[in-house]
Amino acid sequence: DQQVKQNSPSLSVQEGRISILNCDYTNSMFDYFLWYKKYPAEGPTFLISISSIKDKNEDGRFTVFLNKSAKHLSLHIVPSQPGDSAVYFCAASGSGTYKYIFGTGTRLKVLA
Amino acid sequence: DTAVSQTPKYLVTQMGNDKSIKCEQNLGHDTMYWYKQDSKKFLKIMFSYNNKELIINETVPNRFSPKSPDKAHLNLHINSLELGDSAVYFCASSQGTTNYEQYFGPGTRLTVT
């Protein structure tokens, strides 16, 4: 039972445009969400997080939106750069569970 | 200056062997994790230690035994390796147990032949 889903395995975007990566979850107890970026042969790197008490969090070119009623979050990258080409994972956790459930990842390719 | 390091980076071994993967973090974190990323790219938690105490033990075969000699180290020992153990294993650490981002090591690619 995959509680965190990233239904788009891949996405291609032109440099300078917006990249939107989506993530859906099923467990209403999740209250903290994170996005990670992963380059080949490296470990995931933390990008941005959001608590369930917020619906938006911004950090430079990266913004995460949370829609609790839809159990959906998205990561916006504006403007997209070739160096953003990587696999992006969303992850979710619930209070007291001590663990994060990861999605299967979306491979973003930013075309120069 | 590597924050979370793992050794070895690659490990090729035969079925039935016993092997260990070491992990060290220099971030001063008190929580450490082992994740497994299988061929389908699922990243699944295996174990978590907080202040050297086991707090997460997912449904992992007991051939896998984590050991935390101190807060900065979390090693993974695997007995009687099987073909299905082939995967990339990631170590991670975080400042606390919930609502903290995790810092990952570079991964250890284990291939069992």
Band of pLDDT at residue A97, cut at 50, 70 and 90: confident
Taking contacts as CB-CB distances below 8 angstroms, the residues of chain A near B40 are 104
Name the pairing type of β-strands A86-94 and A106-111. antiparallel
Is the pLDDT confidence value at B45 over 80?
yes
For B51-80, write each residue's pLDDT tens digit.
888 888 887 889 999 999 999 999 999 999
In this predicted structure, what is the pLDDT of residue A23?
97
Q: Is the pLDDT of residue B2 over 80?
A: no
Element (H or E) spanning A103, and its range? none
pLDDT, position B29: 94
HSE of A98 in the Cβ direction (CA atoms, 13 Å)?
Answer: 18
Inter-chain residue contact B41 with A45, CB threshold 8 Å: no
pLDDT in tens, A34-88: 999 999 989 999 999 999 999 999 999 999 999 999 999 999 999 999 999 999 9
Is the separation of the CB atoms in A71 and A7 below 8 Å? no
Q: How far is CA B109 from the centre of its chain?
A: 11
Among B47, B102, B103, B108, the strongest candidate for a mutation testing the A interface, having the largest count of A CBs within 10 A, is B102
Q: Do B104 and A45 touch (CB under 8 A)?
A: yes
Instruction: Supply B49's token pair.
Output: 């230690």
CA distance B20 to chain A (A): 19
pLDDT at position A37, please?
Answer: 97
Least confident stretch, A12-16, A73-77, B11-15, B54-58: B54-58
Closest-CA residue in chain B for A43?
B106
- Which of B7, B49, B95, B99 is the mutation pick for testing A, counting most A CBs within 10 A? B99
Alpha carbons B87 and B110: distance in angstroms, whole number = 5
Which chain B residue has its CA at the smallest distance from A101's CA? B44
Hey, what are B48's tokens? 């978590």
- Terminus-to-terminus CA distance in chain A, angstroms? 38
Query: What number of helices (H) and strands (E) belong to chain A?
Result: 0, 11
Name the residue type at position A11: L
Q: Is B89 exposed, middle or buried (0-12, 13-18, 19+ CB in 10 A)?
A: buried
Q: Residue A96's CB: how many other CB atoms inside 10 A?
A: 9
Sign of the Cα torsion A4, A7, A11, A13 reads negative
What one-character DSSP code corresponds to residue A79?
S
pLDDT at site B78: 96
Going by pLDDT thresholds of 50, 70 and 90, the confidence category of residue B109 is very high
Flag if A42 and B107 touch (Cβ within 8 Å): yes
CB-CB under 8 Å, B45 with A99: yes
CB contact under 8 A, B90 and A97: no
How many pairs of residues across A and B have Cβ atoms under 8 Å apart? Answer: 55
Cis status of the peptide bond prior to A79, with omega within 30 of 0: yes
From chain B, pick out residues whose CB is under 8 angstroms from the CB of A51.
99
Residues contacting B86, CB < 8 A, separation 6+: B39, B110, B111, B112
